[in-house]
Chain A
Amino acid sequence: MLRFLFVFMIFLSSNCLAQKIEGKYSLKVNADEGNREFVFTNDKFSDIYIGHAGTRIVGGGDYKVVDKKLILNYRQQGDQDTAVYTIDKQPISNTAKSHLSVKILDEQNRPMAGLVSLVNYSGATIATIVTDTAGKCNFITSERDVKFLEINYIGYSKAKIELKSLAGFNATIKTVLHPQTTTYRVATQAVYTIDDLSSKAISLYSKQEGKLQLIKVN
Chain B
Amino acid sequence: MKKRFYLVFAIFATIMVILSCRKEIGNYLDSEPTSVSLEAAKNYYALKANLNALSYRKLMSTGPAAKGGTPKSNRPFYRPIPKWKQSWEVNLTGGVKLIIAPTAEKKLADKSYTVRRVYIFKVEGENVINGEIVEFLAKNSSLKENFNEIASLYDRTALKNFSGAIMRYDLNYFPLSGKVFDQGKIVNNFSQLVNLEKAKTTSVSATSSGTASDGQYHCYELYWCYGNAQPGDAGCTFIGYSDSCWDWPSDGSGSGSGSTSSPPDAGGGPPYGGNTPTTTAPANNAQFLANITTTNLSPCFKRMLDSLLVDQAALPSFIGIFSNGTTPGFNWVLDNGILPPNTNGTTAGTYDVTAKSVTTTFDRYKFTEASDLAIMRTLIHEGAHAYLVSYFRLDPLNATKEYAAMVDAYGESNNQEAVHHAQFVTSFVNEIAIALQAYGDRQGYTFSSSYEKAQFYDDLAWGGLTGTKVFKDLPATTRTRIENRLNSEQYGKDKNGNDMPIKGTDGGC
Give chain A's interface residues, CB within 8 Å of chain B.
26, 29-35, 50-55, 57, 80, 106, 108, 110, 112-115, 117, 125, 128, 130-133, 150, 152-156, 158, 179-180, 183-184, 209-210
Q: Are B486 and A55 in contact (CB under 8 A)?
A: no
B21 close to A (CB within 8 Å): no
- Supply 17 further A-B pairs (C-beta < 8 A) apart from A35-B340, A54-B348: A31-B487, A33-B464, A50-B343, A50-B346, A52-B343, A52-B346, A53-B349, A57-B415, A106-B353, A112-B393, A115-B411, A117-B411, A128-B411, A130-B396, A131-B396, A152-B414, A158-B414
B419 close to A (CB within 8 Å): yes
- Contact mask for chain B residues 379-411; partner A; CB cutoff 8 A; 1 contact, 0 none: 001100100010011001100100000111011
Beyond A34-B343, A125-B411, is A130–B397 a contact (Cβ under 8 Å)? yes
Q: Are B393 and A183 in contact (CB under 8 A)?
A: no
Q: State the CA gap A110–B346 with chains docked (Å).
A: 25
Q: How many A-B residue pairs have CB under 8 A?
A: 139
Q: Are A32 and B347 in contact (CB under 8 A)?
A: no
Interface centre among A53, A55, A131 (most CB of B within 10 A): A53
Point out the residue from B397, B415, B472, B486 that lies within 8 Å of A32, measured CB to CB: B486
Residue of B nearest to A115 (CB): B407
Residues of B within 8 A of A132 (CB): 397
B341 close to A (CB within 8 Å): yes
- For this complex, 23 residue pairs linking A to B, each with C-beta atoms less than 8 Å apart, are A31-B487, A31-B490, A32-B366, A32-B378, A32-B486, A32-B490, A34-B342, A50-B343, A52-B345, A52-B346, A53-B346, A53-B420, A110-B353, A113-B393, A114-B396, A128-B407, A128-B408, A130-B397, A131-B396, A154-B407, A154-B416, A155-B389, A180-B416
B483 close to A (CB within 8 Å): yes
> Separation in Å of the A179 CB from the closest CB of chain B?
4
> Separation in Å of the A123 CB from the closest CB of chain B?
10
CB contacts under 8 Å to A, within B331-368, are: 340-350, 353-354, 366
Point out the residue from A35, A112, A113 that lies within 8 Å of B343, measured CB to CB: A35
Residues of B within 8 A of A50 (CB): 340, 343, 346
Residues of B within 8 A of A80 (CB): 414
B467 close to A (CB within 8 Å): yes
Residues of B within 8 A of A155 (CB): 349-350, 389, 392, 416
Q: Are A30 and B407 in contact (CB under 8 A)?
A: no
- Contact mask for chain B residues 33-48; partner A; CB cutoff 8 A; 1 contact, 0 none: 0000000000000000
Point out the residue from B345, B366, B397, B487 that lies within 8 Å of A30, measured CB to CB: B487
Residue of B nearest to A155 (CB): B349
Q: Are B467 and A33 in contact (CB under 8 A)?
A: yes
Give chain B's interface residues, CB within 8 Å of chain A.
340-350, 353-354, 366, 374, 378, 381-382, 385, 389, 392-393, 396-397, 400, 406-408, 410-411, 413-417, 419-421, 463-464, 466-467, 472, 483, 486-487, 490-491, 495
Q: State the CA gap A124–B265 with chains docked (Å).
A: 52
Residues of B within 8 A of A114 (CB): 396
Residue of A nearest to B382 (CB): A52
Interface centre among B340, B406, B413 (most CB of A within 10 A): B340
Residues of A within 8 A of B420 (CB): 52-53
Residues of A within 8 A of B421 (CB): 52
Q: Are B411 and A150 in contact (CB under 8 A)?
A: yes
Q: State the CA gap A209–B472 with chains docked (Å).
A: 8
Point out the residue from A30, A154, A184, A209 that lies within 8 Å of B486, measured CB to CB: A30
Point out the residue from B342, B349, B407, B411 that lies within 8 Å of A33, measured CB to CB: B342
Q: Are B413 and A183 in contact (CB under 8 A)?
A: yes
Q: Are A55 and B353 in contact (CB under 8 A)?
A: no
**Is chain A's binding surface mostly helix, strand, loop or mixed?**
loop
Q: State the CA gap A113–B374 with chains docked (Å).
A: 36
Q: State the CA gap A24–B507 with chains docked (Å).
A: 32
Q: State the CA gap A200–B495 with chains docked (Å).
A: 18
> Separation in Å of the A99 CB from the closest CB of chain B?
23
Residue of B nearest to A158 (CB): B414
Residues of A within 8 A of B466 (CB): 29-30, 33
Q: State the CA gap A129–B254 with chains docked (Å).
A: 51
Q: State the CA gap A182–B397 with chains docked (Å).
A: 26
Q: State the CA gap A80–B413 with chains docked (Å).
A: 10
Residue of B nearest to A209 (CB): B472
Q: State the CA gap A26–B345 with chains docked (Å).
A: 18
Q: Are B400 and A130 in contact (CB under 8 A)?
A: yes
Beyond A31-B344, A34-B343, A125-B408, is A53–B416 a contact (Cβ under 8 Å)? yes
Point out the residue from B382, B397, B407 that lies within 8 Å of A133, measured CB to CB: B397
Q: State the CA gap A133–B406 with chains docked (Å).
A: 19
Residues of A within 8 A of B346 (CB): 50-54
> Separation in Å of the A207 CB from the closest CB of chain B?
12
Residues of A within 8 A of B381 (CB): 32, 52
Residue of B nearest to A178 (CB): B350
> Separation in Å of the A38 CB from the closest CB of chain B?
14
Interface centre among A51, A112, A132 (most CB of B within 10 A): A51
> Separation in Å of the B414 CB from the closest CB of chain A?
5
Q: State the CA gap A33–B490 with chains docked (Å).
A: 12
Q: State the CA gap A44–B385 with chains docked (Å).
A: 34
Beyond A155-B350, A210-B472, is A52–B463 a contact (Cβ under 8 Å)? no
Residue of A nearest to B359 (CB): A54
Q: State the CA gap A54–B396 with chains docked (Å).
A: 21
Q: Are B408 and A31 in contact (CB under 8 A)?
A: no
Q: State the CA gap A133–B382 with chains docked (Å).
A: 26
Q: Are A156 and B350 in contact (CB under 8 A)?
A: yes
Interface centre among A30, A125, A179 (most CB of B within 10 A): A30
Q: State the CA gap A110–B350 with chains docked (Å).
A: 14
Q: State the CA gap A53–B350 with chains docked (Å).
A: 9
Residue of B nearest to A131 (CB): B396
Q: Are A133 and B396 in contact (CB under 8 A)?
A: yes
Residues of B within 8 A of A117 (CB): 411
Residues of B within 8 A of A180 (CB): 349-350, 414, 416
Residues of B within 8 A of A133 (CB): 396-397
Q: State the CA gap A31–B410 with chains docked (Å).
A: 25
Q: Are B342 and A29 in contact (CB under 8 A)?
A: yes
Q: Are B495 and A26 in contact (CB under 8 A)?
A: no
Q: State the CA gap A154–B483 with chains docked (Å).
A: 30
Residues of B within 8 A of A154 (CB): 392, 406-407, 410, 416, 419
Residues of B within 8 A of A183 (CB): 413-416
